[in-house]
Homo-oligomer: A and B are copies of this chain.
């Protein structure tokens, strides 16, 4: 039985869907299963080959785990996007293991590695699509790593926001990204990107007029 609920999601996710033959569409649909995950539930665990995960609703968190149990979040996958590193068996050049948890209650479609492999042999577009997704995750990971390894800008921005709040005696910093960049001697893009990250971590809320600190404790931990 084809997983009918997955069809619209696959169709929407693959820009080349209409190029596929009816048989190949059916093969993909037959190879895709719907799945629901509770907040906090583990979805993918290191070395197994779970498949390609299409997120319908909710949010997934992709992370690496040390032997000692230390976690580092690499990135999050939101509704409408796709997780490829959970199918490292179809990407031969991927030799590292990640873990994927549901960060919120999430509904997903999981495409089996064998179905992907079969159809992607016929359509180079499909290979290119997944490789490009992977390469763009590479960029996200490099960004996080640079923050962690060079330990500069996230810390500096946290220090800046805390000192602004202290000055004004409020949790709101009424400055545009442009202005913050100017004060910090940085570029607007860099500030916007880091604020977006702070916001995704729940440290701040972004609004038109500025930035509101919502989690002073975490921001202080980052700063000092």
Contacts and interface: CB of A to CB of B under 8 A. Distances in A.
Interface string A131-144: 11111111101110
Contacts of A137: 138
Contact of A94 (B92, B133, B135, B152): B135
A185 to B, nearest CB: 6
Interface stretch (A26-34, A35-43, A65-73, A159-167): A65-73
A138 B75 CA distance: 15
Contact-size category for A: 35 or more
A149 B70 CA distance: 9
B139 A96 contact: yes
A145 B144 CA distance: 11
A93 interface: yes
A8 interface: no
Of listed A132, A137, A152, residue having the most chain B CB within 10 A: A132
B139 A67 contact: no
Contact of A139 (B70, B93, B125, B133): B93
B96 A142 contact: yes
B66 A149 contact: yes
Nearest to A93: B136
Given A66-B146, A66-B149, A131-B132, 17 more contacts: A64-B142, A64-B146, A66-B150, A67-B152, A68-B152, A70-B149, A93-B132, A93-B136, A94-B135, A95-B136, A95-B139, A96-B146, A124-B127, A127-B128, A128-B128, A141-B142, A149-B149
